Amino acid sequence: MSGLGAAVNVITSEGKAGLAGCTVSAVCSVTDDPPTLLVCINRASKNNAVIRENGNLCVNVLAGDQSHIAMQFASKSVPMESRFAAATWDRLETGAPALVDGVAALDCEVMSMNEVGTHTVFYCAIKAIRSTVGREGLVYFGRDFHRLPQAPQPAHA
């Protein structure tokens, strides 16, 4: 799988089960209408159970200069409060923490889930979106982070 490049995302959740956050590359658009994503999280992760009970999550797409945030959220030895202290957060619609200065924050309600092997596939309805223009992207490929140049702005006619 190291040859399959993917955007770097921090998945966050907050609600009755508490606060959760982890680094995930397995995020994919399912459909535009209604806007739906799938997010895969290992069932052994404590974050999985919290997201299940909270019923919300935010896909925070990291920018090129935010690999340190990905590392904070990927480390099991970093306490949850310390993970969130590494960046600035606010809330959109569901109450899940949304990264203030990432490429995008896709705030979602969990609609359904399936168990596949070691992971849960969460199907999520997007309830709110925030994007930041002019940010570089961040991908994980070949077991390392790589920065992508910012996308060109569309020409206006």
| 157 within some domain | no
Helix (H, G, I), strand (E, B) or coil at 38: strand
Q: Which domain does 120 fall in, by range?
A: 6-148
| 20 within some domain | yes
| 78 within some domain | yes
User: In total, how many domains does the chain have?
Assistant: 1
| 110 within some domain | yes
Separation in Å, CA 113 to CA 12, 19, 40, 73, 121: 17, 20, 9, 23, 5
Provide the pLDDT for residue 142. Answer: 87
Provide the pLDDT for residue 156. Answer: 67
The closest of 156, 149, 154 to 64, measured between CA atoms, is 149
Given a cut of 60, whether residue 51 has pLDDT beyond it is yes
Provide the pLDDT for residue 57. Answer: 98
| 153 within some domain | no
Given a cut of 90, whether residue 27 has pLDDT beyond it is yes
User: Taking residues 108-132, what's their average pLDDT?
Assistant: 97
CATH number assigned to the domain comprising residue 111: 2.30.110.10
Q: What is the largest CA-CA distance in the chain?
A: 52
Q: Measured in whole angstroms, how far is the alpha carbon of residue 152 from the centre of its chain? A: 23
| 1 within some domain | no
The closest of 154, 147, 121, 116 to 27, measured between CA atoms, is 121
Of all residues in the chain, what percent carry a pLDDT higher than 70? 94
Q: What is the pTM of this model?
A: 0.93
Given a cut of 60, whether residue 157 has pLDDT beyond it is no
